[in-house]
Amino acid sequence: MYHRLQEVYQYRQMLKSMVLTDLRTRYKGSVLGFLWTFINPLLMLVIYSVVFSSIMRMNIENYPMFLFVAILPWIFFSTSVQNSAGVVLRNNSLVKKIYFPREILPISVVIGGIINYLFGLCIMIPACLLFGVHMTAAVAIFPVLLIIHAFITLGICFIISALNVYFRDLEHIISFLLQFAFYLTPIIFSVAYVPAKFQYLYKINPLSFIIESYRDIFFFGVLPQLDKLFMYGVVSIIVLAGGWSIYHILQRRFAEEI
């Protein structure tokens, strides 16, 4: 794996080019263009805020911001996984014609997702301050949390992008699975609202801890549980290493399969 990391680093200019190309073409031809990076989470925020605070009477103070700090990391995860599913097939001409470390493909997707997430924070943080959310020194833990989040996301993206080359229907199945996962992650509500008999479903979901931790540092102004943060840090490394290993094995026949 260390050798592969070195090789990816040697092709960093190609990686950079892929990320920038994806960011430029994602909204190509759209009137609003790159503004959709900000509009998408804002639209989700408005819809869920109206539905859950007004119609379903979600009794949470400052609910729009409670929701906003969770929606952004979810969008990062879900769009990265969704986009990674077809990333090898979309770049089939490169895969067939030239040599480069194939790991660059899903890595570029996740880096693009991180960039969009950071742009989203440029809207979220001022909005939180405007709505009276008090930011504390707990936000200093954000880089650690983002790395854990990115490692888990990348590990999953490695697996999904490789399997989709052999099983093309997976790209469509992923959309359904992400919708299911959305409700198994405490985004629109806190885990405290979940009936006790179902809470284990949220506790075994690594994204639950990650989303709740983002909410802790940005909304509640407290540190997440540091012992769990360390544990999920280890989990994220295992997921990344496992995903990378699976991808490395399956990528050997990419050119033949596509």
Q: Judge whether residue 168 has pLDDT over 60.
A: yes
- The mean pLDDT value of the chain amounts to 88
Q: What is the pLDDT of residues 91-119, one digit of tens each?
A: 998 988 888 999 999 999 999 999 999 98
> Amino acid identity, residue 148?
I
Q: Judge whether residue 210 has pLDDT over 70.
A: yes
Based on the structure, what is the number of domains in the chain?
Answer: 1
For the chain, what percent of residues have pLDDT higher than 90?
Answer: 56
What is the span of the domain harbouring residue 155? 2-257
Q: Which of 29-38, 45-54, 126-135 has the highest mean pLDDT?
A: 126-135
Residues recorded for the chain = 258
Token readout for 198 is: 């179902």
Q: What is the predicted pLDDT for the residue at 191?
A: 83
**Crossing angle of the two packed helices 142-166 and 170-183, in degrees rounded to 10:** 150
Q: What is the pLDDT of residues 144-162, one digit of tens each?
A: 999 999 999 999 999 999 9
Token readout for 201 is: 């479903």
Least confident span in 29-33, 98-102, 138-142, 237-241? 29-33
pTM for this structure?
0.90
Q: Judge whether residue 55 has pLDDT over 60.
A: no
Contacts 24+ apart (CB under 8 A), 187-193: 187/67, 187/70, 187/71, 187/74, 187/211, 188/48, 188/52, 188/58, 188/67, 188/70, 189/52, 189/58, 189/60, 190/60
Least confident span in 60-64, 81-85, 118-122? 60-64
User: How buried is 232 (Cβ within 10 angstroms: 0-12 exposed, 13-18 middle, 19+ buried)?
Assistant: buried
pLDDT, average across residues 167-173:
90
Dist. CA 27–CA 16, nearest whole Å: 18
